[in-house]
Structures are given as structure tokens and as C-alpha cells.
Amino acid sequence: MLPKDRPLIAATLRRTLVPALLFSVAFAPQTFAQDGQTKPQEKTAESAGADVQDVAVPEEEVTSFTLDNGLQVVVLPDNRAPVVTQMIYYKVGAADEGPLETGVAHFLEHLMFKGTSNHPEGEFSKKVAEHGGQENAFTSDDYTGYYQQVASDQLEMIMGYEADRMSNLVLTDEVVLPERDVIMEERRSRVGNEPQAQLSEIVQATLFTNSRYGTPVIGYEQDIADLTREDAIAFYDRYYTPSNAILLIAGDVTVDEVRDLAEKTYGKVEQRADVGERIRPQEPEPRAERTVTLRDARVTQPSFSTSYLVPSSTTASGNEAAALDVLSDVLGGGSTSRLYRGLVIDKAIAAGAGSDYQSSALENGVFALYGTPRGGASLDEVEAATKAAIDDLIENGISEEELERAKNRVRKGVIYLRDSQTAMARQYATALATGRTIEDVDQWPERIEAVTVEDVNAVARKYLKPERSVTGYLLPETPDGSQPATPRTATGQIDAPLPAGSAPAASGMVEDNPS
């Protein structure tokens, strides 16, 4: 129920959606994948020179309309196979929770599978499985999503069930309290037993000092323990209403068919609340470089990650978001990137090194660099080489050749993304849930093409500043229990001993496979 969509410290995503990477790659590369904004897999990056026409891409335009009750419906036709995907995104996530109710958004996501006044617990999931479909749900800082993929002739069935639980959820203590225990155990197993997850929460809380992105999506243990049936119902009644949701249907459908079915199912759901504007505490401009260190006997490979506070795709000025995307690719986006080529291939001091721009957030984004030493190399060497690469880029800038190579990889990433029905649907849904538009998604390739060398150099110099960063170190304890020195000391250092079972998942998304 830990993220498949965003890095460990991401703001949304945390959290990526957006999809998905980043800080988590440095600490747990096998566990996490990014949000819908994901860059292509390495084999895609390696084939950057290939003809981009080698991928079949649906040509139908995305259509959007709004039902009388305020529900936005988005249709993405794709008739290559008789399959359809339904996604319903509620524009509420962990960053919308109150200060004493961390984890309630994720708690409610679990409870949405507990049955309604019309259908008993498990019936919806059973129907999806009977027809060979799949389903899942996830909670992020900025949105909570539910999706199913089935044969296209079952679309009315899944729309009916999903519309039903938008308004008819039934919660009793008999189902709520055991599920709260499930989440407590999830937190213990995913975080209490994972030093990298514990460190990522500390990094996240250090990077976001005022923003609600500083709290974990899964919630703090003491808050989860206090969640009640009344808390879940209040959250449901306030936020799970048609005008606060986005329904996206992708696959072998027509716009007219979706419109008819949406009016027949979701159109009957009454508007229960006026959510209003999303007003949250804002993160002030950072003023001091900070480091955090976590030591644990279970750590066998030291690693570090430096995270910078940057704007997201929603909050960036002009074309800064596209420039940050290209910068991430130049620095650490593949085997020809500066960090990978310099640290892994040329110097052979790192087992892994790279960067990631976590952009899919309503508010702040995160730009992350990471590295893990190899062989006899020390963490100091890897970090120093990473810093030297950043300093060189800031002083001398990138080349036109690097720019074009990065553009080509990002360009192909967009093409390959569009070849996946679910990934493309998630891309639009994430954008719409975080303050962007269909046009923003459609125009992203053109915005990448418009990026210049000067644009990339400008964002590097503006945002990759020490005072905007938090560096996290994950270190082993020595056999005698003594603690080796932290690789680097900076202003605002926090030396954190391992808190037994106290840190929740710091990723920006908790994705659940319903039982």
C-alpha cells in the first residue's frame, strides 16, 4: 500500500503521480515507480535515436464535459483493443487533512471497499475479477484515485458500482476499527521495518517545514490510532461529492456512449457539499542548507540523496517546468547523463547515481539527486563527485548536443506513455486533479521542444542552491555499535537515531491492492 507512483520524499506523488524515481531510487530502487508523469524506462532512453513513429498512438482527441451535478467527465477513446479503463479521482489528499487527522484520506480510501447500502462488501471487487479485470486505489498528497480495467462491454457495470459508492457508502465500527488495525500494520511493515522509509519521512518533514507536504500520506502512528468512524464519514461527506471529482474513461468507447452511461449512473448522484477553494499553509522560501542522518544496523549499503525545493508543473513560471524536466534528464536521466556517465562509468565509484524532477503536485515540486558508492569508494567520494557535476553545470551550462539528446528522450517518453491506455488516462487525471488542464497535457511536447540551453541553465542556477536543499544520509552502524561520522556537515544538521517503528511512509502516494 506503498507508492508505485512517486519518490519517497515527493510532494505529490510525494508523492505520480504522478506517476512515479529519485530519492527512493537511492534508498529502495526495487520498490517504487513513478506517477503518470514518468520518464521512459532505460531501454526507451537508450533507443532515443530511433524513429518515434514506431509506436502506435491513438489519434482520437480527448473530450471533456460536465454533468449537471458538477462531475467532470473526460473521455479518451482508444479502439485498438476491446478494453476500457475507468478512473475516478477525488481532488482531496493527505495535504488537505487537518493537523490531528493525518492518514484519514488513506483510511477512507481503504474503507471505500467496505460496501454500500446497495451492495455488500467485496461484491464490486468480485465482479471485476469475474470478468477478468483488475482494480486498484491510491492516495497522494493532492488526490485520491480509484480505477478498474475491464472488457469494454462491462463499462456500465463498473460505472454503476463506482457511482454507488460515491454516495451510499455504509460504515460501521465493525468494519472501520479492524481496517484501522490493518493500516497500523501496513505502516509498521512498510516503514517500521524499512530504514530508508524512516529517513525519507525525516527528509520530507525537513524540506517542507510549513506545507502539509511535510506530513506522510499514510499518517503518523498516533493519529492513525485515534481515527474513528466519525472521522471517516466526515471526510467522505465533505470531499466525496460529484463536483470535487473527475471521471476519466479511456479505451474502446465513444463519447456519446460514455455521456449516456455517465448520466445514467453518476448523473443520479446528488451534490452533497460545496468543497470550496483549497487553501493550505504555504512553504516559505528556504534559507539554510540542511542535512539529516539515519543510522541503522540493517543498512548494508550507504546512500545519500539531495532534494531541492522547486516549483511543480502547476506553480512554475513560464516554461520552467519543462526546463527542469530537461535538466533532470541531462543530469541523471539515463546511461548517457552526466551523473551516470561520470560516476558509474568513467570513475566507477558509484553503483547508482541519477536525478529526478517530481513535478506532479498542486503546489511545490522536488528536484532530487542521489548516489550509492561502489566497491571501495566512499560515500564522501560519490557526494563530492555529484556536487562537482552540479557546480560544473551551473558554471558552464549544458551544450546544444545535450539539450537535443535530452529532448529526444523526453519526446519519446511522451510517445511511449501514449501507447499505454492506463498510463495516458492517469496522466490526464493527475493533471486535472492538480490544477492543470487537458491542454497542458496535450501541449507538453511542444513546451519541451521550446526549451533552450539558456532556459535549462537558468533553472539550474536559480533552484540548485544549497539553501534550497535537504541532504539525507542512510548509514550503517558499525559492529561495535559506534556511529561513523556523517559524510558532510551543513547548517541545520539533524542527526536522527532510528525511531523504532515511528516513521510512516514518506512517499507521496500510497497505492493499495484491495483485498
| String of DSSP letters for 119-152 | S-TTHHHHHHHHTT-EEEEEEESS-EEEEEEEEG
Return the HEC string of 59-118.
CCCCEEEECCCCCEEEEEECCCCCEEEEEEEECCCHHHCCCCCCCHHHHHHHHCCCCECC
Q: How far apart are CA 371 and CA 290, in angstroms?
A: 18
| 109 included as an active-site residue | yes
Catalytic residue among 97, 101, 109, 383: 109
Helices (H) and strands (E) in the chain, counts: 18, 13
Report the DSSP beta bridge partners of residue 147: 87, 136
Residue 414 in contact with residue 404, Cβ under 8 Å?
no
- Return the SS3 of 430: helix
C-alpha cell at 172: 460501521
Return the HEC string of 456-498.
HHHHHHHHCCHHHEEEEEEEECCCCCCCCCCCCCCCCCEEEEC
Q: Provide the sign of the torsion angle of the four alpha carbons 92, 94, 98, 103, taken in this order.
A: positive
Q: How far apart are CA 62 and CA 71, in angstroms?
A: 16
Residue 20 in contact with residue 4, Cβ under 8 Å?
yes
C-alpha cell at 146: 480509484
Residue 117 in contact with residue 166, Cβ under 8 Å?
no
Active site residues: 109
